[in-house]
Amino acid sequence: QKEVEQNSGPLSVPEGAIASLNCTYSDRGSQSFFWYRQYSGKSPELIMFIYSNGDKEDGRFTAQLNKASQYVSLLIRDSQPSDSATYLCAVMETSGSRLTFGEGTQLTVNP
């Protein structure tokens, strides 16, 4: 089993729709979770981080964490073509140092 798994893509949504990206992790002791966006040919940029169970909202982005289910998600409301990118879920090791990344989900927002 992979340590961090993301829903297989690619994911395509129309402009204005809600895009839902999902991630599960295997290390039950993990405490910190990150969502990165990576445009083609560029390095990842941090979108959201979440540590507590529940929802965390930042503009059009909402991260959701359920530690009991070992599940973290990212919702993008009012999706824009500029949101088209690969979204990487990352989980910090229990030791608190390294990040483990999922394979990424490629999102395309169609005008």
Partner 1 sequence: GAVVSQHPSWVICKSGTSVKIECRSLDFQATTMFWYRQFPKQSLMLMATSNEGSKATYEQGVEKDKFLINHASLTLSTLTVTSAHPEDSSFYICSARDGVSAVYGYTFGSGTRLTVV
Residue 96 CB, nearest distance to partner 1 (Å)? Answer: 8
Looking at beta carbons only, is 69 or 95 nearer to partner 1? Answer: 95
Polymer length in residues for the chain: 111
Under rule CB under 8 A, residue 42 binds partner 1: yes
Asked if residue 104 lies in contact with residue 88, where contact means CB atoms within 8 angstroms, the answer is yes
Residue 16 CB, nearest distance to partner 1 (Å)? Answer: 28
Q: Provide the 10 A C-beta neighbour count for residue 75.
A: 17
Looking at beta carbons only, is 41 or 111 nearer to partner 1? Answer: 41
Instruction: With CB under 8 A as the rule, give the number of residues binding partner 1.
Output: 22
How far lies 10's CA from each of 31, 46, 79, 97, in Å?
A: 28, 20, 15, 30
Asked if residue 100 lies in contact with residue 34, where contact means CB atoms within 8 angstroms, the answer is no
State which of positions 53-92 bind partner 1 (CB under 8 A): 88, 90
What residue ranges bind partner 1 (CB under 8 A)? 32, 34, 36, 41-46, 49, 51, 88, 90, 96-104
